[in-house]
Chains A and B, each alone.
Chain A
Amino acid sequence: MVTIASYPQMQTGTIMDRDIYAPGLGTIVNIRPLTSLEKVFTIQLPEGQSLGHRPGQFMEVSVFGIGEAPISISSSPSRSNGTFELCARKVGDVTTALHNLKVGDKVGLRGPFGRGFPYENFRGKDILFAPGGLGLAPLRSLINQVLDERNLYGRVIILYGARNPGELLFKDELKAWSERDDVELMLTVDRGDEAWTGNVGVITTLFKFISIYPRNTVAITCGPPVMYRFVLMEFIGKGISEGNIYLSLERKMKCGVGKCGHCQINNIYACQSGPVFPYKEIKGLEEAL
């Protein structure tokens, strides 16, 4: 039997007749370059289907003939409108091929996969976001979800660091957030340039500028592997409890369905139990950070 797969909707439970490895199709309806390395792809699903994702989840994205790669969903469910956004850095075979695609081209899609942020539990609390570099891409999904239901949350603090001003992502949104009086945004770069008047230093240098009420604060970070320990020390140093700290961890999620083994952190499959973890859950895992 020859069938052309339609978009596989995320389902729970065991489905015996569907091939979990066969992607459905989405159409690229917009491409927005952010930096020399990152582009945002707006993708539309067939027949106006909604992705039904949760901030923090990821997609397996196929460029047929090149392969498949996990990419976090960068748009918020609150702004789905029949499309979603992926922010991809041109770094591997698949993302390089993705960067060469044009509006109207199709990509293969599986997902959404993994555990996202339990943002309903964050309501009523202050949220401290500390993304580094490309780590803003998955956290942007949650930030915009929170901003779209802003009155349900306490303070929104965003500390964002990049290596240099040219690598700051979503500059238009950073500007918009900085102009809101209900968002506290602070930026830093490891190395400034002539035009840069802001803070210079790694992301942890921003923590001395903020004071928080730790018992009512949820802290969230995502960034390059080297960053986590230092940011965690700042979170803990601010008095935030381990159960209120969330990390989104990068791993090689090849299959997305807990089988292929590539994303394992000790006994945990990051593609299923993560990529978002409360710190207290992974604190004892040797391979987590």
Chain B
Amino acid sequence: MAPLYYSITTEEQNVSLTILSKSAFQEFVARLLPHYRVVGPVPHDIGYSFEEIQDVTELRMEYPTTILPPKKWFLPPKETLFKFTRKNGGVIQDPPETPPTVILGVHTCDLHAIQLLDTVFSSGQYDVHYMGRRKKTLIISIECLSPCDEHSFCKDMGTLTADEGYDLHLTDLGDSYAIDVGTQAGADLLQNYSSSSVATKEEIQKLNAVINAKWPKFSYRLDFDVSELSSIMELSMKSPLWEELGNRCLACASCTNVCPTCFCFDVKDEVELDLVTGQRVRNWDSCQLDDFATVAGGHNFRASRALRQRHRFMRKGKYILDAHKHLGCVGCGRCARACLVNITPVSTFNELYRQQETGSH
């Protein structure tokens, strides 16, 4: 648990809270490298991305946001579901083994998104491909202490912190990290590969001060409380806004491609040059693309961009919440950054709210 404020009454109550100096953290990561595939935020010329690192110096624990969310390590943009042979039609299940993996530096918005994806792929029909990777992965998340940019609205969406979903959770105290242990696996990792110490009274006070100072730096951007979002969406099916967004939308699918909670996919067969063997692959797909809901006979059940934008925002604000008890939007702002025509969730949700308040539709 990462409560907003840590009790300093007795040290026994905070045994899960440990301290690692920044140099000791570097050492910790270096010790993980021979035993784990270590993934973390790495700078590129156009932004940051979650990449496998070979050396701890590649890692940037302080970063604004990444172009793609860490989702790609569990649900890759393209993956092989199985191989087949067209002779006798045999299915060959030969999944590559996922190496034990540690993902470092996951922001809490992405942490919330991963919890949603875990629910989607483990409930109902169990997805061995996603869950196989997920179960081999430990997540070391980090508390955000300042907003990444003007597009994020994590504070509105309740994702500016997290009290579960991580194995270890870091808070930057300047020259050290306070580490909250979320799982036994996280505790073991810390125990086996680091020389962390139990937080002192002063360190807990410092942590409280850091967390105390962070919240005012983030502003609310929605004009309503997020608990109202689902009902606002429910009443917005016939809003004129969808037509307006549809007229602007280029149906490029950038929004869904960068979204940490989007999980729709397409499945295709690929045949090798021998024309006998091949593989069935799963690719990320997007409800914003023209033929997403087109059946073989040619009928498109969501033929207009307006209907497709509506579907996207309905999923984000309502459908996914109804189905999985997690909001389908975590306020990371990636879709707003990626959109070429400035369609953003904040302006969309606020406009729907305004239309209802003023009865303008």
Q: A1-B94, A5-B93, A287-B302 are in contact. Are A264 and B311 (CB under 8 A)?
A: yes
In the complex, chain A residues 127-186 whose Cβ is within 8 Å of any chain B Cβ: none
Complex Cα spacing A159 to B145, Å: 67
- Report yes or no: B89 in contact with A259, Cβ–Cβ below 8 A: no
- Is there a chain A Cβ closer than 8 Å to B85's Cβ? yes
By the criterion CB–CB under 8 Å, are B314 and A64 in contact?
no
Question: Contact at B267–A25, with CB atoms within 8 Å?
Answer: no
Q: Give bound CA distance, A19 to B314, whole Å.
A: 30
Q: Which of A1, A22, A65, A89 contacts B81 (CB 8 A)?
A: A22
Known: A20-B127, A262-B264. A252 touches B294 (CB 8 A): yes
Please encode chain A, from 33 to 59, with 1 for each CB lying within 8 Å of some chain B CB and 0 for all others. 000000000000000000000000000
Among the listed A20, A64, A94, A258, which residue makes an inter-chain contact with B84, where contact means beta carbons less than 8 Å apart? Answer: A64
A228 to chain B, nearest CB (A): 12
On whether the beta carbons of A21 and B295 are closer than 8 Å, the reply is no
Q: Which among B93, B124, B295 is the interface contact of A22 at CB below 8 angstroms? A: B93
Per-position binary interface string of chain B over residues 257-281, scored 1 when its CB falls under 8 Å from any chain A CB and 0 otherwise: 0000001111111010001001010
Main secondary structure of the interface of A (DSSP, over half): loop
Cβ of A21 and Cβ of B124 under 8 Å apart? no
A29 within 8 A of partner (CB): no
| Smallest CB gap from B292: residue in A | A262
**Residue A115 at the B interface, CB < 8 A?**
no
- On chain B, the residues within 8 Å of A22 by CB distance are 81-82, 91, 93
Q: List residues of B (127-151) whose CB comes within 8 Å of A's CBs.
A: 127-129, 131
Q: In the assembly, what is the distance between CA of A243 and CA of B148, in Å?
A: 52
Q: For the complex, is B323 an interface residue (Cβ under 8 Å from A)? A: yes
Interface 1/0s, chain A 111-139, versus B by CB < 8 A? Answer: 00000000000000000000000000000
Binary per-residue interface labels of chain A (44-80) against chain B in the complex, 1 for a CB within 8 Å, 0 otherwise:
0000000000000000001011111100000000000
For residue B310, which residue of chain A has the nearest CB? A286
The answer to whether B126 touches A20, judged by C-beta atoms less than 8 angstroms apart, is yes
- Partner-binding segment picked from A10-18, A191-199, A231-239: A10-18
How far does the alpha carbon of A224 sit from the alpha carbon of B297 in the complex, in Å?
A: 9
User: In the complex where A15-B126, A20-B126 touch, is A262 in contact with B285 (Cβ < 8 A)?
Assistant: yes
Assess the A107–B89 pair: CB atoms within 8 A: yes
Contacts of A250 in B (CB 8 A): 295, 297, 299
Tell me if B123 is interfacial: C-beta within 8 Å of chain A. Answer: yes
Q: Is B358 an interface residue (CB 8 A)?
A: no
B287 within 8 A of A: yes
**A21-B280, A106-B89 known; A266 vs B125 contact (CB < 8 Å):** no
Chain A residue numbers with a CB within 8 Å of B91 are 4-5, 22-25, 64, 108
Q: Flag if A258 contacts B124 (CB, 8 Å).
A: yes
Whether, in the assembled complex, A99 has its beta carbon less than 8 Å from a beta carbon of chain B, the answer is no
Q: For the complex, what is the distance from the CA of A252 to the CA of B265, rounded to whole Å? A: 12
- Determine the distance from Cα of A18 to Cα of B296 in the docked complex, in whole angstroms: 29
The complex places the Cα of A68 from the Cα of B295 at a distance, in Å, of: 13
State whether A261 touches B301 (Cβ < 8 A): no
Interface residues of A in 235-261 (CB under 8 A from B): 250-252, 254-255, 257-261
Closest 8 pairs between A and B when the two form their complex, measured CB to CB: A92-B296, A261-B264, A257-B125, A106-B89, A267-B319, A64-B84, A5-B91, A65-B271
Q: Apart from A254-B266, A266-B314, what are 8 other A-B pairs with CB-CB below 8 Å?
A: A2-B93, A14-B124, A19-B129, A25-B89, A62-B89, A255-B267, A260-B266, A260-B267
Listed by A's residue number, 11 A-B pairs whose Cβ atoms lie within 8 Å are: A16-B128, A19-B129, A20-B128, A65-B84, A65-B271, A89-B297, A255-B267, A258-B125, A260-B267, A262-B292, A267-B323
